Structure 1
């Protein structure tokens, strides 16, 4: 099993993969779209890798870090969720938001991802709720939620605002959530 790869990006494919050259071997690795957009030919990259073995092929899936890979593996454990669906979900929803939606039981937020139907989203919530502590430790999303609750907003209002909010760091996410709450 390949756990991680480090090397030079030799090729970036619009179909969702890149070729990473490591020690004279080029590995085709499928990655979330956000990571693919950051990849530049000639740049060095290190990926946490999931080696997906099927009867007829071996496929590599690469991630920014071990937490993202852990979420991918958790998603693979859900009935009806295959590797391509799990990757599409991680491409559409940032790790922290996905984990938060699962923990809150927000199947609607998950179903908004392309290729994820209502039933699949509900199954993901049912099977993974309460099991994601190591996949997504507290981050800006949790901190913003706590801050808004401490300011006196109702949990339902906060959840609605955070679902619609954009931003990766605490400050950007807080500003966006406050704008949503002001609507």
Structure 2
């Protein structure tokens, strides 16, 4: 059923929200037992392996910024506190920093992805591209990291990243015809084969 001309899932950044009114009971705490029960339920959302992979991807992004855009690295990341590093639910492990998600400049993420899409170069100079799913996982990692940090990404991030990924899907499909993708990547099963 259409909601205001839109069909499908309504994303968080598309919802009407009220963040001005004070949350009732915000200064009170629930019991440790209930907090543990909530964590146990939330842990079922994804496997720990995926959470660890997301943290590694986030670290890969900000380490690239350190090398290529040190000014943005200094302004767009922050040092983790000892409490954050020790919080097992955050999955920081050995990471010392995290991205600042509120106000994240999507241009720097797209710059990273533009470099990351080039998986390898053959001896003849032909560039082999990464899979679309690999590129999407970096976007997923950023969205997950923002959620864990309880920071909202700018709406511009969603608009620009959606366009970038759609464009990359087209680019990947074109170079796939030219044999410039990883041969080990799985192609979708055709309806005939299925």
TM-score class normalised by the smaller sequence? under 0.3
TM-score, with structure 1 as normaliser: 0.24
Higher relative contact order (CA 8 A, sep 6+): 2
Higher strand content, 1 or 2? 1
Higher helix content, 1 or 2? 2
TM-score, with structure 2 as normaliser: 0.23
